[in-house]
């Protein structure tokens, strides 16, 4: 079975064309080597798929006859992705929040309302000012 069709069948990609583009961009490896979308895969092959900044490592158990339901995916693959990859993604989310502060660009509607509320609360009372 073609590697792009396999990744689509086991629901790693939503469409087959997205799986084909991932293969063409070098995001799919079979036994450590970049592959074309037409590369044939067989049981016991080890795939590495880069998706959403995580390198998923998949071991092929069997080849499905066609696209399978989400509950049946485990009959055809074993996901051996290390837990550190998912933890690294969590750290990446926190680092993005650190470097990109919310509201550094154009204020959102909520930001504008908060600013307006702050100015209304900090305006001195005109009766308190003595000339």
Q: What is the pTM of this model?
A: 0.65
**Could you please report the per-residue DSSP string of 39-64?**
-B--TT-EEEEEETTEEEEEEE----
Tokens for 80, please give them.
Answer: 């051996």
Query: Can you give the pLDDT at residue 17?
Result: 92
| Coil, strand or helix at 101 | coil
Task: Examine the pLDDT at 78 and tell me if it is beyond 80.
Answer: yes
d(CA 66, CA 25): 24
- What's 1-98's CATH class? alpha beta
Query: Which tens digit of pLDDT belongs to each residue from 9-50?
Result: 998 888 989 999 999 998 899 988 888 988 899 989 899 998
Q: Which residues of 60-72 are buried (b: 16+ CB within 10 A; e: fewer)?
A: beeebeeeeeeee
Query: Can you give the pLDDT at residue 88?
Result: 79
């Amino acid at each position: 079975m073609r590697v792009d069709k396999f990744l689509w069948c086991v629901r790693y990609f939503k469409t087959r064309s997205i799986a084909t583009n991932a293969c063409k961009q070098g995001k799919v490896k079979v036994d450590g080597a970049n592959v074309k979308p037409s590369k044939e895969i067989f049981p016991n092959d080890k795939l590495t798929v880069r998706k959403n900044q995580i390198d998923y490592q998949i071991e092929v158990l069997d080849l499905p006859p066609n696209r399978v339901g989400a509950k049946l995916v485990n009959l055809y693959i074993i996901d051996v992705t290390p837990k550190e990859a998912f933890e690294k993604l969590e750290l990446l989310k926190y680092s993005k929040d650190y470097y990109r502060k919310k509201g550094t660009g154009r204020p959102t509607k909520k930001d504008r309302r908060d600013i307006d509320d702050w100015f209304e609360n900090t305006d001195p009372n005109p009766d308190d000012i003595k000339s």
